[in-house]
Structure 1
């Protein structure tokens, strides 16, 4: 009964959005589209199954009806814990920060927000802001108020294929000219620190509570394991999620992992996902949810897949150590 699930796209217009998602999709609505929430259990953008016998069911309904079969035997949560977005930043996003679970629960009534990014496309001089540069809390706050923030933020130029881990408490922003896949905790809590004169409401008091001025982020190097038909790379591992990259050279065969679900997102190339005589096209920005009890499937083509899931930290660390020792 359980099989790879394709969901609808929930598009959100943003002041900094654009039209570049039309390069990959044919269902983008009018306007400055900044985000597509592609696997989401958030009420404001709830995902609905598009394929097979479960078509029409929301992700919330599925996890309520079949918690173990969808989420897995080791994922003991009441709601789907992750959120997969595609972001089209055609103007600078606000400078922002996300709280951890404890702070978010106290002040916003939901989970905190730790996330990771895979850069799908980037213009030549595109950059991310990840962290602060040699400043105290008081110096930073004064710089925000005096529109002198640029001297205190860390900018890193990026290109296609770069991966970044954004821990709760890290000051960050996506620069213009970037399309990326974002995996994060299922939360919509963001504290806006600085908005480059666009006049939107700021959350400076909360932001200053949660910014960790010691946090940094660099491009992840990953640990690649070369195989005959695919390469497998480990990029991010934390208690909220893991992010791996699978390079499919010809055929990739898999099935559900009864312990946990996982999400596959095409971030480069193209192919097809085939199961039980059915086919799903996999193009850049497409995502598929693999339920824990999913039947066998195979992916044919030449493409890169971002794999996102809630890990068992001890098992994952042992697996990685067994490779490098």
Structure 2
């Protein structure tokens, strides 16, 4: 009964949204503003995923998780709701400089999970950059700079290109720059504290932001650990207690099945192909995502494409698996 699931796309207008998504999809709605986000695997009410294919078509991800928690989430995932959120972001303008809280702070003030996330850069204009972290400032110097419109001297800017991966831990100041489209995997949370918004008139949350910014945190482009194979290469990029992010570079074919302990999400970050299961097939266009339920049957992916694999790991098991590669 359980098989790879594709969902309808839930598009969100944003003041900073762009037009890169039009190069990949033909289902964008006509809106007055710009589309900034596509929520592609989500159990958030603001962008609930609805199954597009197969016998479960029309069911929401929230319904499925409630009806079949073990079969969808997995035997080792203890969560009442689907715990991850997969988005595609398209930024024509700079996002606000912002920060997300950890689980404890978010539970106290917003009643939901904290927000740790990771990014895979799908496309980036020349000289595009991310803001990641602060540099050479104290908490008081930083707060004064925000109030005096002088924040740029205290934020770290990193130029990016297609294929770069970054890990953004809760508490790390960050912003996506103009001209960047990326895939984002994150905890299922919509809590953001804006620190600085370039005078666009939206609400700021400086007090809460200052509570949660960790001025010791920083992040660089992830180097990854690649394991080369004949049919596909497998690279490990992020591993933490919230999620893992791996990249599978499919050269000809990649075969797998559901891991009964945990679900995972496959997102096409480059190229295209087809996914075959039972007597069915799914087209996999660039930036498509597929949820692999824990009890999913065997499947194979054919084509020349890169897949971002997102899941909640067993940290000890994953570390042993990685160590077995390098020993």
Equivalent position of 2:167 in the other structure: 165
Equivalent position of 2:46 in the other structure: 44
- Cα shift at 1:133: 1.1
Equivalent position of 1:195 in the other structure: 197
Equivalent position of 1:141 in the other structure: 143
Equivalent position of 1:154 in the other structure: 156
- Cα shift at 1:324: 1.2
Equivalent position of 2:3 in the other structure: 3
- Cα shift at 1:82: 0.1
Where do residues 301-320 of structure 1 align in structure 2 (5 Å cutoff)?
301-320=303-322
Matched residues in 2 for 1:131 and 1:191: separation? Answer: 15
Matched residues in 1 for 2:190 and 2:73: separation? Answer: 21
Equivalent position of 1:68 in the other structure: 70
- Cα shift at 1:284: 1.2
Counterpart check, 1:211 vs 2:213: yes
Where do residues 35-184 of structure 1 align in structure 2 (5 Å cutoff)?
35-184=37-186
- Which 4+ stretches in 1 moved above 2 angstroms? none
Matched residues in 2 for 1:49 and 1:150: separation? Answer: 43
Matched residues in 2 for 1:51 and 1:120: separation? Answer: 25
SS at match of 1:209: helix
1:12-43 deviations in whole A, cap 9, x for unaligned? Answer: 00000012101000001123000000000001
Matched residues in 2 for 1:45 and 1:245: separation? Answer: 26
Matched residues in 1 for 2:34 and 2:280: separation? Answer: 34
Matched residues in 1 for 2:143 and 2:65: separation? Answer: 43
Matched residues in 1 for 2:279 and 2:178: separation? Answer: 42
- Cα shift at 1:275: 1.0
1:51-108 deviations in whole A, cap 9, x for unaligned? Answer: 0000000000001100110000101111000000000000000000000000000011
Counterpart check, 1:25 vs 2:25: yes
Matched residues in 1 for 2:183 and 2:306: separation? Answer: 13
SS at match of 2:17: strand
Matched residues in 1 for 2:316 and 2:288: separation? Answer: 30
**For the aligned residues, what is the CA RMSD?**
0.5
- Cα shift at 1:114: 0.1
Matched residues in 1 for 2:205 and 2:199: separation? Answer: 15
SS at match of 1:304: strand
Q: Provide structure 2 residue ranges, at least 5 long, that are not aligned to the other structure.
A: none
Equivalent position of 2:273 in the other structure: 271
- Cα shift at 1:288: 0.1
- Cα shift at 1:225: 0.2
Matched residues in 1 for 2:232 and 2:215: separation? Answer: 39
Q: Provide structure 1 residue ranges, at least 5 long, that are not aligned to the other structure.
A: none
Equivalent position of 2:257 in the other structure: 255
- Cα shift at 1:199: 1.1
- Cα shift at 1:278: 1.3
Where do residues 234-253 of structure 1 align in structure 2 (5 Å cutoff)?
234-253=236-255
